[in-house]
Structure 1
Amino acid sequence: MRKRASPSCSFPRPARRRRRCGSRRSSRHGGPSGIFCKNPATRIEKEPALRYIPTGNSEGVFVKFYLYTGNKLERLAEKFISLVCGSLPADVFTPETVVVQTQGMAAWLKLRIGDSGRIAANFDTPFLVNFINRTLEAVFPQFRADFERFSTELLPWKICRILEREPERYPELAAYLSGPQAELKRWQLGCRIADLFDQYQIYRPKMLEEWRAGNRPEWNDADWQKRLYLELRGGHKGREHYFSEFFRLRAVPPGALPERVTVFGVGTMPPLFLDFFLKLSEFTVVNFFYLNPSREYWSEQYSDFEAARLVARDGGTLEQFHDGNPLLASFGAQGREFFRHMAGMPEVIHPEDGELFEPFLETSGDGPDDYVNPTRLTALQQDIHAMFRRGPEPDGEITGRRFDFPPQDRTIRVHNCHSARREIEVLHDQLLELLEDPELQPRDIIVMAPDINTYVPYIRSIFGQGPLKNVYAVSDRSLRRTSRIADAFFELLKLRHSRFEASKVLDLLHVPAIRSRFGIEAADLDPVADWIERAGIRWGVDRNDRLANCTVGFEEYSWRQGLDRLLLGFARETVPGDLHSDGLLPLEAVEGSSSVLLGRLVSAVERISALRRDCAGSRPPQEWSELLLKALDELFLPADEEFDEFSALRRAVQLPGRQAAAAAYDSPVPVDVIEDAVDAALSPAGRNDPFLRGKITFCSLVPMRSIPMKVVAIVGLNDGEFPRRDLKLGFNLISRKIAPCDRSRQAEDRYLFLEAILSARRNLLLFYQGQTARGNDEFPPAIPLGELIAYLKKSAPFEETRHRLQPFEFSYFDRNNPNPDARSRSRENFEAAETLLASLRRGRPPEPEAVPHLEPAGIAAISPQELERFFTNPCRWFLNNRANIFLFNDEEDSGDVEPTPESVDRLQQYLLKTEIGAFTLDELDRDTQYRLLRRGNRLPVGHGGELLFDEIYGTVQKLPQSWRDALRNRVPMTVSLESGQLRIAGTIETAPDGLSQHLLFYSGLKPKYTVRAGLRHLLLSLMQREPVTTRLLTFERGEPKEHRLDAVSREEAQSVLNTYLALFLEGQQTPLPFFEKASQACFERGLEAARRAFTSSCKAGGITGDLDDPAVRRCYGPDSFDDPGFTEALERCARILLGSLELKEVEP
């Protein structure tokens, strides 16, 4: 029987170095006869129920630490079920304590219990740290109070209080904490230090004990950490003290501990925790179920890099390390250290049936060439399990045979994709294929990612529709990164750094929870956006807000001015050109019941702007929590399905105030500190997310999450992203002197990858982004994945699947495609691929979906103005009025910036000329006109806007007096005409005698003006029995130019009008090919000139072709001129609309 001295302190003993034993296999399972033994002959075949450990005095202790080890969780679970269910506690109401590292493991274990025919009831499944803290509290009643005083939740605030009140004691930190945002930097530094001190308690407890004993730190620049730690501790005891006291215990209070404790499925843990459970076994039974990847003694399995470092330090040759599986050596560093620590614990009891190793496939012997019916996956797993290696050795010798797997062996698949979205698209196709097997169910599939939050939007988009819509669940989501409510809350806080732009406020109103709070429906957003555009609201709350943002106070284009104009326009009857007493120009945009919506909009904007204003300055954390909680209730009304998210957000907002109060911190801080604290509270993965609920499970790659599944998929195995890098703080004392089993993110991720490989029972799917979307530049996979691929190629021929950029590549649907991993089952993508393939065969790009050819509209009556709008842009008319298609032109968006003289384009100048012309006809003076346009947000702000106004005003003043008189004297004339089955009814404006009309346009002559003048001339000719004339005035290069249409007979007028109306009716069935530029060019210079005018574009020079119009582009393409039917219709329309009436230029 082995002996050990009573520990003189609570810290792990240094592990003894061991050499790997030879291949030792049992007759039953192919496992070792003594996996933790140097020499199998020293193994005690039958262990006693208790192990007596002599101590340094006359007394000894009995240890009840039972170790069960195996390479498959299923076997460990079987033994756990038989052990626990076979010996129930005396009190059936006593819960069974099972310590796990994740709730996912607890859920899986309960499912296994249910599958065995038993009931998983009254199970207590605490996390590892929670159980240890709970035990220490049960043994030491004062532990809870001391632990809470030094908890990572309160510690940052305590550190901030010390650094704020006594900065002179920590001159080492003065340089960092000086300058702008000092409070935020102090808070963030406090969080880092708090986390570091928490790690010291677990991984460097001896160092903390030495600090408390008065010893100097090992490093001179660490003295400030010692001073800070001791000041934080004060007269209270730390967790390391309670560990030390626990290790010295000889007895515990009755009832303090459960009768039996099971630690299940653990692959690694800090040495301090392992020693804790060993000591715990002196007082209660501890069953330790250890998941061990290999049946061999593998504590000296080193990667090539580690081996080279050991040779450089200790001497020897690299050849002595080339014994064992390279993947186990490379991926298993973290587990290897834990295995070595376990092997250095002779007190552990090894039950006779405690070694539960099971090979991954049948073997006919003990060598790597004796596998029976291997698959690519099981061969890899067995190589790792038995510590075999394959491929050439450094001396040229070949170890292990190469397999010749059949093509249908796709048990391991590696997919090289362009983006995260493509990874999920390919995964979706792969799972659809696998689920065609009736023996595979969605619950048998797990999909992991280094960070699942990156993939949540794509998972929802792709799996949220189609056959897998209701058979997937996402776990480990960070509320901060996946909740729309949380995102909206932080966007509200960010408004304090913004100019309060119109677009940002509108984006917030698109959040359903905010919209609901103010009673605004989704259908209300379009009219709200229209009001904001018409009111000219761009940014800024009011004049004072502008003054704070740009040191210039002005009301134009602000929210206050725009909303007041809307309210004033609704509240009072206005006269054109009438300014309110305070200089406001009423805007008549709201009428009737829409006033209710306007009131709700005003309430929303005022509440949002109030929060923005409240976020300025500094307040104590408690006040910030109260203010933000009030804002949440006033700004959000979550739906039923959003209530959990909203409740979690409220709890996160409450935390800073509560924690600061508990830490006695009441100094004012900016909201930046609270924002960072709430962000940190919402960032961890949610604990209540669904896991193993009978669906495909998506989750993050975290310790002990790699539970056995038929199909295991891992996405995001990208170079530089996996494994995660250890970004150590410069003052982290742990990283200065590495000890066995120290936590390393990189080593942890490698071990998780190893566990995932070993947990797949049927298929292993691996994905990485190895190509760029632009240029197809190649990137290597993550280093662990690259090592795996290299090993697979040594074992057998193996190639990854290199996917295309788009899911609708026709090769995915080619029956002759030799690669089954590069196929798709998406009908939507299949239809897109058909279109793509057809277009390539035609030799030109795919066209948009053809505009439908519709049945006659059945229009009975139409007004002259509607006819004019039709001929202005027949394509837009057809899409809007017949096909119900509305296209948005990005260039029409005015953005969040008020106009400048340089940004006012030709269309805006034309509209300004039209408004100034109307003011001129109303005989308003220059100053009044300028004031109206400025207060109506129609001009750039400042002197530049006045200069632009004067330039346009000067052009308009060139309007001849005779034209001014004629335009002022126009009177409406009723039109009522029958033409076939169509009746034209409405009004047009004519001279008082009804025999002439004047049309004014403040730009050059265009086809739409010609058609408008002709149409009105024909209508007036048919309404009067005497000859009529129509005069048209345009401005060419700023100078007025007059045109005239002479009288025509009623018969001719009727004939021409009939052709116009025939084109109108034709345009109700298909888009009429009449365009602003191409039609004029066709009429004047022929088809080639029309083609150039149709397609030519130089936006930088202000030159656009007809195809720049989204409506035209939707109906026709650049190759439309290759269609004889199109060119014939184009010539016919141009000839009828531009040549039926002669428009004569009038000499000045």
Structure 2
Amino acid sequence: MSPSIQVLLSNQTEILYQRLKEQLFTSDTDPFTIRVVVVPSKVMKNWLSLKLAEDLGVAAGIECLFLEPAMQRLQKLLEDPEENAFQLPSRVVLALSIEREIRQALKSEKSEIWKPLKDHLLDKRRKNLTGKGEKRLVSLSDQLAVLFAQYDKYGRKMLQRWQKEEPAGWQELLWKRIVVKVGPESFFWKKGNVTVHLFALSYISRQQHQMLCSLSSHVPVCYYLLSPCEVFWSDLLSDKENSRLIRCWENQGMSAEALSEATELLFERNPLLANWGKLGRLMAAQIEETTLQTDENYRELDQESTCLQALQMDLLKLRNGKFLEKRSFKEDNSIQIHVSTSKTREVQALYQTLLGIIDQHREIDPYDIVVMAPNIKVYEPMIRAVFQSPQSQLNCQIMDLNLLDQSDVVKGFFHLLDLAETRWENESVLNLFSFFSFQEKQGLTQTEVEKIGKWVRDTKIRWGIDARHRSEILLRNHCEKGMLDNSAAGTWKMGIDRLLLGTAMILPSGIEEKARFNRRPLREVAASDQELLGEWAFLMGKLREDLSLLSSEKKMPLDEWSEYLLYLLHQYFSWNRASEKEKAQAETLAKSIELLRIADAGAKDFYPFSTVIFHLKKALELQEVHDRENYVQAVRFCSMLPMRAVPAKVVVMMGMSEENYPRKEDKTILNQLYFQKGVDPFPSTTEFDRYLFLEAVLSARQSLILSYHKKEQGGEKLNECSLLISELVHYLDQSFSISGLKPSESIVYEHPFYSFDKKYFQEGQKIRSYSMPDYLAALSYYKVENKSSYRFLPAFHSPSSLTNQKFEVIDVKEIKRLARNPFRFYFQKRLGIFLKEEEETSTEETLTLSPLDLSKFRKESWRISMDKMLQIAELEGMIPVGPFRDLSIRKAAAEAASVAENMTQLSLKPSDLFEIQFCETCSTPRKEENRWVLPPLIVELESGFVRLEGFLGEGSLEGMIAYKKGEKRDIVELWPLYLIWCRAIEEHALPFRKDLLFIRSGERKESWLESSLESLKDYISYFNQASHVVSPLIPEWVEALTKEKASELEKALNLSLNGDFFYNDEVKWICRGGNALDSEEMHAAWSEQAKRLFSQPIAQWSGKKR
């Protein structure tokens, strides 16, 4: 029986829709007719449903399905059950069957046919499946499942040969063992009350076409095809195919004259249709081969008033504009090409362009605009930032997003599963605690999570549950041996134990007492947070226990894995307070886990977790998420998928760079369709993309906008435009002119780097901006009076010109802060600005002692024995573990020995050291254990009396102690403290020497001051001034400020700011954005003050050693 498919052809989707509407409800149908409408994409489905609802009032009783589900639905409805219908298993079922068969072959098969597979999967030395081999096997099985589905669609003859012949390769053998059957050449159907409508599908495989031809003898089947050309065009050849044919004729010895005539005939066609339309030609050829009845309804435009309309008519009439008289248009912008500097600027430029089009054409609504990109997911953040900002005048809906990237529950769940495979780094665990669904289930607030993060940093937790867990991780992932050092420093158990000990006991105060503990208590938890600490400790233990199965390499049936994963999902995540959209996404995850139970078709085989997680992720990747899908009046964003083009007044294609579009075909060597004879035509990804571009040109009713960005983020290579854009522009230049110019000179819009560039707001420019914030930014940026950039500190005022701010009581620690960092002192004391330091959470083991830990070690090591100090250092996690441990210990020992030697050289013993405290309640000096308590130091200034209180630091009978080397910057930083030391000795006749002892270098700086009072008065006056205006007298710059020329200061500034280890964050913050400090201004204002305060100590002590 001959096929009776009705084929309706048109160059406009709207006409095809009108015919579909007529065919759906003919006199041959009744209310119980099952109307199956096959659509190519979600976007087309939405468009069709909306149109049917608008025109018919309802869209019920119509099943809109994609091609593969539709074919399965028809087989279920209409195939004769007595003929034992064949149907290929689903992708996951097929992949699991392939994996099961390969595992069995790797264990028991000895045939050489399996050797390539064994070489690829098995460890060469151990001859077994390692962790890497397991992942390869799972991925390979999934690839083969996809290929087997392609073989079933395009390679029926190849499969029939495989079925009859002895297998020549392992793929053939796998096919015969797993699939067994090949789809039939003929199909057996029964009649049914069904109508089938394939709407706007550009291409279906030959096997699917034959199946529908067979079905059409029993039920009505109708194709609605978008055809770009009304004349016969299926014999056209692309430029590449023409060149190949010409070479063939040359090799056959064709004469030059005949070759010239043939070549002229070959290229006398529309090149765009020939180069972009191969997919449509293949579909047309299939229809012609089966002699189907066609009904053509092409719409010709009354006039070609725009460049876009003329282009569409050239395609429709198969005209080549090169051989026609060049057509001219005045100020035509129906086709636009926008070039931007980045993805962000590309989206910003698109937003302004769309506003401009809507402003010019008031009949265009946001819903009339479709925006496509090769992968819309890479543009999602930029689209949200621009189109969903509070200032945006356009709504948007984003299609084709990935569930794995959208849902907080899904992302948190997979982060939990991935945690078992990691080293339990501090960042990974803290990231798990940052998911709101996890916090909701565990009863945690964001503030409590931040406290936990602080505890982790304070205890220096890096990775690993405990020392044993660390060794297990190394054995599993990298080595044949575990950790070289069994120290628990930096593990979760060590850190939590230290916090628990700190809440349960009084902390030891002396060094000797600290050394008696095998865990160093840490008092970081307030009494009100002790309950939180207990809950956190319990949760960490529960996590370790529940996730241990994932790292045990245990294999289980899929139903047990499903039950276990559902337990983890409900145990650690909650979505009760989430939005309806989030709840639906969480339920989709739970349903996907449930479906794992039946994925192995009841085989009850045992699988490792790597298999389960792979297929669960694949299943969720196929679950598309659409943002704001219910927004009707919104710009529609979607990915460029095959057969995706929908009609719209404005069609936009973003990301049209050479690298991104058309997409390259991944020609894997596994695909036997490339190497076998007699396979059906199977279009490549590039051919689908070219035809999609052609459909987009046909679908644009008023404007076609193409855009790309020149540079990828973080990349150096510049992007060129897509080859398709180059072909289009070349054709336009040959065929048309716009305002007397080539279209390439008129339709290409180069966008500047900034969105507030003046070009957007000048008269006569092609591109405009409708953004008020950008306009205000442009006014500010290009303002004539604003010649210099903004400076946080307009000028360094001279201290003598300012009124002193008076302090009656000054804490000595405030003087220390000023001496160490005048900028930070001013920021915090005067402005109340506290720059937040970056809270770094290191996940790696330290290779050396940090400078801070080395400083602590240096100060304490000579008071007790080296062994006890090392014990304390290890308890606090100061000593690196592993092969660098001994090196660090040697370095620490060398530092301790150096300090001990210097102490001996300075005639000091540990018992000689004491602290100095100026106490408000003290009336006369008194000596306590390891401390001298003195009355506050009273200094009389012209403005009144100042009282100094607080702790000064360490000293001895030999002089004031400083754990520094005695460099010039050290002298500047210690000078005010030394003055207070000397003044205390003078006022109370203390039995101390006025020397300054530098422990790190063993230097003794002897005093030359008979009285320190005047110098101390000067410094306190400076303290008052620096509290009112920022002072540049930081220790690194003081010596340069005492010089006569500002050039010395300029050198010091450059050395500090351009170096790698400059500590002053406040100076860096002031200089951000290229705001350099003015050395001339600074020198003029502060040089005299620097000389008055520091010239003498620098001159007296610099370079002199004893």
* Same structural fold, with TM-score higher than 0.5 when normalized by the shorter chain: yes
Q: Which residue of 1 aligns with 2:386?
A: 462
1:109-508 superposed matches below 5 A? 109-116=48-55, 118-140=57-79, 142=81, 150-167=89-106, 168=109, 171-177=112-118, 178-180=121-123, 181-209=132-160, 211-212=162-163, 215-216=164-165, 221=168, 224-233=170-179, 240-241=183-184, 244-246=186-188, 249=189, 251-252=190-191, 256-258=192-194, 260-312=195-247, 317-348=262-293, 350=294, 354-359=295-300, 361-363=301-303, 371=304, 373=305, 375-391=306-322, 399-407=323-331, 409-437=332-360, 438-468=362-392, 471-483=395-407, 485-495=409-419, 498-508=422-432
* 2:926 alignment partner in structure 1: none
Q: Which residue of 2 aligns with 1:557?
A: 490
Q: Is the 8 A contact 1:972 1:990 kept in 2?
A: no
Task: Name the aligned partner's letter for residue 887 of structure 2.
Answer: G
- What is the distance in 2 between the residues matched to 1:388 and 1:517? 66
Paired residues, number: 1026
Q: 1-side partners of 2:873 and 2:971: how far apart?
A: 26
Q: Does 1:686 align with 2:624?
A: yes
Q: Tell me: CA distance 1:776–1:587, structure 2 relative to 1, closer, same or farther (3 Å).
A: closer
How big is each residue's C-alpha offset from its partner over 1:807-836, in whole Å with a ceiling of 9 and x where there is no partner? 3573544616x6524x54555556666776
Equivalent residue letter for 1:335: G
The offset of 1:338, in angstroms, is 0.6
Aligned to 2:605: 666
Residue 232 of structure 1 aligns with an amino acid whose one-letter code is: I
Give the letter aligned to residue 961 of structure 1: L
Q: How does 1:661-810 map to 2 (within 5 A)?
A: 662-669=601-608, 671-684=609-622, 686=624, 691=629, 693-736=632-675, 737=677, 741-771=681-711, 778-796=718-736, 797-799=742-744, 801=748, 803=750, 806-808=753-755, 810=757
- 1:917-940 per-residue CA deviation (whole Å, 9 max, x = no partner) reads 6xx2xxx33322221122212233
One-letter amino acid of the structure 1 residue matched with residue 309 of structure 2: T
Question: Counterpart of 2:128?
Answer: none
1:1073–1:1129 contact (8 Å) kept in structure 2: no
Is 1:629 the equivalent of 2:629?
no
User: Are residue 987 (structure 1) and residue 918 (structure 2) matched?
Assistant: no
User: Does the C-alpha gap of structure 1 residues 771 and 225 become closer, same or farther in structure 2, counting only changes over 3 Å?
Assistant: closer
Deviations 1:511-539 (A, max 9, x none): 33334444443344554343323322223
Aligned: 1:1134 with 2:1095: no
Say what the alpha-carbon RMSD is for the aligned residues: 4.1
Counterpart Cα distance in 1 of 2:1004 and 2:959: 16
Aligned counterparts of 2:142 and 2:945: Cα–Cα separation in 1: 78
Distance verdict in 2 for CA 1:411–1:199, change over 3 Å: same
Match of 1:961 in 2: 908
Structure 1: distance between partners of 2:418 and 2:772 = 42
In 1, Cα distance between equivalents of 2:712 and 2:617: 32
Classify the secondary structure of the residue corresponding to 1:619.
coil
Structure 1 989/206 Cα, relative in aligned 2: closer, same or farther at 3 Å? closer
Residues 1007-1086 of structure 1 aligned to structure 2 (within 5 Å): 1010=972, 1014=976, 1017=979, 1026=988, 1031=994, 1033-1035=996-998, 1038-1044=1001-1007, 1046=1009, 1048=1011, 1052=1014, 1055-1056=1017-1018, 1059-1067=1021-1029, 1071-1083=1030-1042
The 3 A distance-change label for structure 1 pair 763 and 421 is same
* Residues 1:230 and 1:879: Cα distance change in structure 2 (over 3 Å): same
Match 1:895 to one of 838, 842, 845: 842
Secondary structure of 1:1096's aligned partner: helix
Specify whether residues 99 and 884 from structure 1 end up closer, same or farther in structure 2 by C-alpha distance, changes over 3 A only: farther
**Compared CA separation, residues 150 and 596, structure 1 to 2 (3 A):** same
- Look up the SS of the partner of 1:300 in the other structure: coil
Conserved? CA contact 1:724–1:749, under 8 Å: yes
The change in CA–CA distance for 1:883 and 1:474 in structure 2 (over 3 A counts) is farther
1:1113 partner SS: helix
- The structure-2 alpha-carbon separation of the partners of 1:754 and 1:848, relative to structure 1 and needing over 3 Å to count, comes to farther
Distance 1:385 1:885 in 2: 69
**Contact persistence 1:620–1:668 (CA under 8 A):** yes
Change (3 A) 1:896 1:885: farther
Q: TM-score, normalised by structure 1?
A: 0.80
Q: Offset of 1:1045 from its aligned partner? A: 8.1
Contact 1:862-1:983 at 8 Å conserved across structures: yes
Greater mean deviation of Cα atoms: 851-860 or 315-324: 851-860
SS at match of 2:58: coil
Deviates more, 1:730-739 or 1:68-77: 730-739
Q: 1:1105 to 1:667 in 2, by over 3 A?
A: closer
Q: Which runs of 5+ in 1 are unaligned?
A: 1-5, 7-52, 54-62, 364-370, 392-398
2:469 to 533, 545, 551: 545
Judging changes above 3 Å, is the alpha-carbon distance between structure 1 residues 1144 and 857 closer, same or farther for their aligned structure 2 residues?
closer
Superposition deviation, residue 108 in structure 1? 0.8
Q: Which residue of 2 aligns with 1:66?
A: 6
Shift in CA distance, 90/734, structure 1 to aligned 2, threshold 3 Å: same
Q: 2:363 & 2:81 partners in 1: Cα distance?
A: 55
Question: Residue 583 and residue 263 in structure 1: after superposition, are their counterparts in 2 closer, same or farther (change >3 A)?
Answer: same
Find the residue that maps to 1:290 and give its secondary structure: strand
Contact 2:37 2:62 in 1 (8 A): yes
Which structure's relative contact order is higher, taking Cα pairs within 8 Å and 6+ residues apart? 2
Q: For the Cα contact (< 8 Å) 2:657–2:722, is it kept in 1?
A: yes
Aligned residues: percent identity? Answer: 23
Question: Given residue 1064 of structure 2, which amino acid in structure 1 is its aligned partner?
Answer: D
Instruction: Find the aligned partners of 1:555 and 1:788 in 2 and give their Cα distance.
Output: 66
Q: One-letter code of the match for 1:262?
A: H
**SS at structure 2 position matched to 1:172:** helix
For residues 848-867 of structure 1, the aligned pairs below 5 Å read 863-867=811-815
Q: Does 1:1110 align with 2:1058?
A: no
Whether 1:595 aligns to 2:530 is yes
For residue 612 of structure 2, what is the amino acid of its counterpart? I
Tell me the secondary structure at the aligned position of residue 455 of structure 1.
helix
Which residue number in structure 1 is paired with residue 556 of structure 2?
Answer: 620
The answer to whether the Cα contact below 8 Å between 1:541 and 1:560 also exists between their aligned partners in 2 is: yes
AA in 1 matched with 2:632: R
Q: Which amino acid aligns with 2:268?
A: D
Q: CA deviation at 1:875?
A: 1.9
How far is 1:569 from its partner?
Answer: 1.4
The equivalent of 2:919 in structure 1 is none
- What letter matches 2:320 in structure 1? R
Which of 291-300 and 312-321 deviates more? 312-321
The structure-2 alpha-carbon separation of the partners of 1:687 and 1:147, relative to structure 1 and needing over 3 Å to count, comes to: farther
State the one-letter code of the partner of 1:956.
V
Q: Deviations over 1:1125-1145 (max 9, x none)?
A: 433333255245436999976
Cα 1:566/1:687, change in 2 over 3 Å: closer
Kept in 1: contact 2:351–2:387 (CA 8 A): yes
- Residue equivalent to 1:366: none
